[in-house]
Amino acid sequence: MLQEFTKVGVVGLGTMGAGIAEVFARAGFDVTGVEIDQAALERGRGHVDTSLSRAVAKERITGDERAAIDARLTFTTSREDLSDADFVVEAVPERMDLKRDVFGDLDRICPPGTVLATNTSSLSVTEIAALTSRPDKVVGLHFFNPAPVMKLVEVVTTVATGPEMTAVATEVAKRIGKTPVTVGDRAGFVANALLVPYINDAVRLYERGVATREEIDASVRKAANLPMGPLTLADMVGLDVCLAVMDVLWEEFRDPRYAAAPLLRRMVAAGRLGRKTGRGFYEGKDDPAEPDRTSRLAEMVREEELLDLGEMLLAPQIDDALRMIGDGYATAADVDTAMRFGCGYPKGPTELLEERGAESVVTTLVAMGEYGLTTIAAPAPLLMDRLPDAEHDHH
């Protein structure tokens, strides 16, 4: 079926959609990018131009290759131009009314065999599929920002997705040079469900005066060799995006683990969204909401030899990962792949666990619980399973 795939449509050319259009064109597909009006279309074309010019400047592609990529890209304001598309990716903003409008049109315009994919990161793919007369042909294809660079694509299937459809979407992801991880339709999928609560944990520690922003970020870079700390990352991702993911996780699971930190909600309400507004945890350094560092809690944590700041941020994430694996939602390999390729982790959560040993992670979680520093009531069953049993303890 894939052999005949030639024409791809991308609806919505914001930074994500433009990046997705570029990725398909680079992989040799003819791509039609659709935007709502001429001004939005020009912005989208501008995103692609900037990205390709940068690739040429960095000598990742030649001028000739760029000309060939440009020749494969068509820009239009008419969705009707997708009447002969084989595969369409929707990348409009995360609002169900917008998705409803797009999928209603695509379902009417595209031939019955056309596969419709959504790049949603927070809405239910099942609900989006139900907006069409072809739910078996709708999949989630969740790219990571910036799409031309990040290797991970989460292929999201629903109860209506047939196995052959999953195979097609996975194959498409590979054809465009991505590393696919196949997951079911559940809030946060793999990467966001592990990454955003960890960012939220960091906000919570900061809010409670356990450590400064710099200490929090440095501790994790040191502990797991991460390229950046969680608060720097929050500024980059956008605090509004982090809050939206936390709220979606909360809606679905109603677990205190997914309650957004009050400070995160207040900063979003105040318009401090990070890099995009010039004010966040680090942006606009002159006026941070700097909690009092001399809190009694901070002293207690510093005196507690079972607690290390970096480990206090990694242990709950490792626990979340093992809960996800224990639930049968994703395999250990998929979880590690998602974090390495989607979030730039040098090692995935189960690799971090191997390095530390289950005992050390459980000890950290239990100590955090005693100080009221985590909402995890008890370590994940799979994590407890990995503890050396009582017999070994005597030797």
CB 126 within 8 A of CB 153: no
Q: 202: part of which helix (H) or strand (E)?
A: helix 191-207
Catalytic option among 51, 119, 124, 192: 192
| 192 has catalytic annotation | yes
Residue 22 CB contacts under 8 Å (≥ 6 apart), including other chains: 48, 51, 52, 69, 73, 147, 148
Rounded Cα distance, 29 and 390, in Å: 59
| 142 has catalytic annotation | yes
What are the backbone angles phi and psi of residue 154, rounded to the nearest 5°? -90, 120
Catalytic option among 35, 51, 119, 121: 121
> Could you tell me where the beta strands, DSSP code E, fall in 159-280?
179-184
| 200 has catalytic annotation | no
CB 325 within 8 A of CB 382: yes
Residue 12 CB contacts under 8 Å (≥ 6 apart), including other chains: 34, 35, 90, 91, 92, 93, 102
* Angle 83-84-90 from CA coordinates, rounded to 5°: 70
Peptide bond just before 146 cis, omega within 30 deg: yes
Catalytic option among 154, 200, 219, 351: 154
CB 366 within 8 A of CB 387: no
Catalytic option among 90, 142, 219, 351: 142
Rounded Cα distance, 240 and 174, in Å: 31
Q: 26: part of which helix (H) or strand (E)?
A: helix 15-26
Q: Work out the number of other CB atoms within 10 angstroms of the CB of residue 3.
A: 5
- Whole-Å CA distances, 147 to 51, 59, 241: 11, 18, 17
* Angle 375-379-382 from CA coordinates, rounded to 5°: 140
- Whole-Å CA distances, 322 to 79, 196, 272, 297, 361: 43, 16, 33, 29, 12
| 4 has catalytic annotation | no
Chain mean position to CA 243? 13
Give the pair of three-digit tokens for residue 10.
């991308």
Active site residues: 121, 142, 154, 192
